Structure 1
Amino acid sequence: MLYQYLKIIAGIAIRIYCRRIVINKPELLREKGPLLLACNHPNSFLDSIILDTLMKQPVWSLARGDVFKKPVYRKGLAALRILPVYRSSEGVENLSENYKTFEACLELFRRNGIITIYSEGKCINEWHLRPLKKGTARLAVKAWEENIPLRILPVALNYSSFTRFGKNLFINFGEPITADVIAGHAADGMRNLEFNNRLRYELEKGVYEIPASDKNQLKEKLSVPVPAVMKVLLFFPGWLGWLINLAPFLVARRNAIRRPKEPGHYDALVMGILLLIYPVYVLLITLLLLFFTHSNWSFCFPLLALFTAWAYVQVKPQFEK
């Protein structure tokens, strides 16, 4: 129930937080399991939020194990369909927990589930594909050994910014990978290597390689033109949206700046905080309007807030000057 509720809320929020989402093969959003989404990892848990909201079938995600330390967090994350993956830096004693996650993934595949895995391992805000870890290959090969008809769908995520509200996102799906890729290889090492070579080939086709200092190339590859008539029509609604929605955004930004223990999570934290506080903010303003005006028009405020926020995102500059 919690997952379905948040998927609806996040689905609305993503259309505002992301100015434009461009997908090369949108029909693949309707793919059914057993399916493993093998992605690059440029933007923390925002990557998972976006993929979860876009895919038609519910999606499970794998996340770093240190956020599962407290039992209350573990239960909440499980309700959100998130499973832990521990790294040696999070305690060697926790590595055995990965076997439980591994088996849980296989069971989900047996039930035709979909799982997201980040094949680079660590999240870094950059336009670059890093070396792939072995986890994706091991999970895929094990599923095939158990005769699970698993398909791996390479997913390349390309954001126009890792700090700006109202970003463009280009999602490039690669060709699905099946068990045929390891045919003829008996040794585990060779099968894993062959799998990773194929996965890297597919991801390299979709991940944009752009130096962070090359602003011209960023604009060339990641901008989306806005018709002049649209800019004119949305100018006043857009700036009204800036006034209406400034307060919750400033609260989210202030808290996001304070919280990260390591770089790479600011963007996702802003989105996550807004998902929590924005519905409360809109409800509070609606009730205040109703209290002072006694008008049923007050109930239109949520739609006004959302529309004007969307309008502002459409007309604001896409990149830093």
Structure 2
Amino acid sequence: MYTIAKYIIYSFLRKLMDASLSFSYRNIIVTGYDKVKNRKPSLFVSNHQNTFMDGLVLIKVAKDIQPNILVRADIFKSKWAAIALDVIRLIPIYRKKDNMGSVTQNNEIFKKCIHLFEKGESLLIFPEGNHAIKRYLRPMQKGPARIAFQAEEENNFQLGLNVIPYGVHYESHPERWHDLHLHFGDAFQVQEYKNEFDENPSKAQKQFTDRISKEISTEMLDIKWHSEYEFMEQVRTLLKPYALKWIHNRKSIVHAENELINKITSNLQEDEEKTRLLKGKLQSYFEEVKKSKLSKDYTARKQCVVSFILKAMGVLIGSPFWLAAKVINFIPEYIIEKKVIAGVKDITWHISLRSGISLFIYPLYYFLIFIILGISFDWVIAGIVVFTFPLISVVMYETQYHFKKLKNAFILFKNPKIVNQEKELVTEFKTLAVK
């Protein structure tokens, strides 16, 4: 009975979550999933930058499976939290630094994971072991290799466990209505390492771990020059509009950016003087950008008058819907932004909390408005009115998005110095990118 109830609740929550994420991201761009979606049992491995959201986006994208997700055990502190998290298929993993239980309890967790594989199910693990917002892959932990090889060993290497590496990339980690990218690499089977494991288990696990690290790195934006991370992140921001033009035959903007940045890194690491000069110019450029109050997603190009007028007309048309949505959604937005988000300093939690709370608060809020309108006026009219609320909200987000573009265009029109600086910098970086 519990299993049936769990399935019903999970399916219902998944529908709500799917809707919530649709209002969290402007576009969710996925490549490579079709070639891995029928692989079962499967161990998904990914980079980890954005707390719960990293797991939720796989649940949204992988509609034909119900992935179990290993998460840190300290969120299971209360009995009711443990029950609720079990319903949504989260499994605790114990870490020394959490002061929660004992790492020896992981032996039981590993057995549970192996049992799931034996039933043909899927599991998601974040091999980095924790989350961090910077756009690079951190060292891999041993957990995925231990679970994978233990599962195959207990099944005489006949389990057929598939390993599916993928990368996640956020245009903006904390904010709504930016693009989200999921890129899946080629799956491989743990059975491929049977001979190595028979000869030397530790060596086989290291080879396995090195492989998933390499595969994940290929599918994400992995800035490898860590000592110059801030500089290279600025380079990425500057060159994003050119990545697909300069790096041909790449399946996504993320793959193009990744190759472009690491190519420039390779060339600059050999020339300290060139790096110093470019850092100075780039710093001066971004100081001007900040002073001008351009938003992060600007494109520093000379503005076309016709394009500017069209942007302005679009924003003008969307403005009444923006105002209507702001009025309609004032109460839930106030609760989310002022009572919850404002008190959370770690910005990597912001989008997870926005989406998670929206999952419940908006359906309840809209249902309450439906009841009030139905009692006060007419149930059919109430249904039609409330049905338009999500559509109006989408128009609001789009209007805000294009208003930022319009504002950026206006700033650049008034300040052509930024465009000229950008042209000079792009020309210099292009020589490094096409070497």
TM-score (norm 2): 0.67
User: Structure 2 residue aligned with 1:312, among 393, 396, 401?
Assistant: 396
Match of 1:264 in 2: 348
Quote how far apart the aligned CAs of 1:53 are: 2.1
Aligned-pair CA distance for 1:29: 6.9
Give 2:353's aligned amino acid: L
C-alpha change, 1:93 and 1:17, in structure 2 (3 Å) is closer
Structure-1 residue corresponding to 2:266: none
The answer to whether the 8 Å contact 1:32/1:112 transfers is: no
Letter of the aligned partner of 2:360 in structure 1? L
Identity over the aligned pairs, expressed in percent? 21
Cα 1:92–1:294 change in 2 (3 A) is: closer
Q: By how many angstroms is 1:216 displaced?
A: 2.7
**What's the secondary structure of 1:316's corresponding residue?**
helix
- 1:192 paired to 2:205: yes
202-211 or 129-138, larger mean C-alpha shift: 202-211
Q: How far is 1:252 from its partner?
A: 1.3
Tell me the C-alpha RMSD between the 2 structures.
2.8
Instruction: Note if contact 2:73-2:93 (Cα within 8 Å) is conserved in structure 1.
Output: yes
- What residue is the counterpart of 2:24 in the other structure? 17
| 1:140 equivalenced with 2:148 (yes/no) | yes
In structure 1, the partner of 2:55 is 48
Structure 2 contact 73–100 (Cα < 8 Å) conserved: no
Kindly indicate whether the alpha-carbon contact (under 8 Å) linking 1:158 and 1:208 is maintained by their aligned counterparts in 2.
yes
The 1:47/1:292 distance shift into structure 2, 3 A limit, reads same
TM-score by length of 1: 0.89
- Cα distance in 1 for partners of 2:350, 2:340 equals 6
**Alignment counterpart, residue 97 of structure 2, candidates 89, 97, 104:** 89
Cα distance change, pair 127–250 in 1 and its aligned pair in 2 (3 A): farther
Q: Judge conservation of contact 1:105–1:115 (CA < 8 Å) in 2.
A: yes
| Cα separation, 2, equivalents of 1:34 and 1:13 | 28
Alignment of 1:225-304 (within 5 A): 232=314, 235-236=318-319, 237-257=321-341, 260=344, 264-304=348-388
Give the C-alpha shift of residue 36 in structure 1: 1.0
2:375 and 2:397 map into 1 onto residues whose CA distance is 30
**Is 1:216 equivalent to 2:238 in the alignment?**
yes
Equivalent position amino acid for 1:169 in 2? L
Paired with 2:91 and 2:335, the residues of 1 have a C-alpha distance of: 29
Residue 150 to residue 255, structure 1, CA distance change in 2 (3 Å) = farther
Quickly say closer, same or farther: Cα 1:28–1:306, change in 2 above 3 A: farther
2:318 partner letter: F
Q: Is the 8 A contact 2:175 2:350 kept in 1?
A: no
Aligned partner letter, 1:184 = N
Residue 174 of structure 2 contacts residue 349 of structure 2 at CA under 8 Å; is this kept in 1? no
Unmatched 5+ stretches in structure 1: none
Equivalent positions of 1:2-81 (< 5 A) are: 2-28=9-35, 30-55=37-62, 56-81=64-89
Aligned residues of 2:160 and 2:191 also touching (Cα < 8 A): no
Spell out, residue by residue over 1:238-273, the C-alpha distance to the aligned partner (whole angstroms, 9 max, x if none): 553344334312311234335547553222112111
CA offsets per residue over residues 148-195 of structure 1, 9 Å max, x none?
A: 111011110001111211121011101102125424322221111100
Per-residue deviation, 1:46 = 1.1
Structure 1 range deviating more: 231-240 or 61-70:
231-240
**1:45–1:94 Cα change, 3 Å:** same
Length, aligned pairs only: 318
Deviation at 1:219, TM superposition (A): 6.5
More helix by share: 2
* 1:206 has 2:289 as partner: no
Unpaired stretches in structure 2, ≥5 consecutive residues = 1-7, 224-228, 243-252, 255-296, 300-309, 409-435
- The structure with the largest alpha-carbon Rg is 2
Separation (CA, whole Å) in 2 of partners of 1:248 and 1:219: 36
CA 102–117 in structure 1, closer or farther in 2 if over 3 Å, else same: same
Secondary structure at 1:317's aligned position in 2? helix
Deviates more, 1:285-294 or 1:54-63: 285-294
**1:42 maps to amino acid:** Q
Residue 199 of structure 1 deviates from its aligned partner by 0.7
Q: Which moved more, 1:239-248 or 1:121-130?
A: 239-248
CA contact 1:59–1:114 (8 Å) conserved in 2? yes
For residues 227-247 of structure 1, what are the alpha-carbon distances to aligned partners after superposition, in whole Å with 9 as ceiling and x for unaligned?
x79x93972545533443343
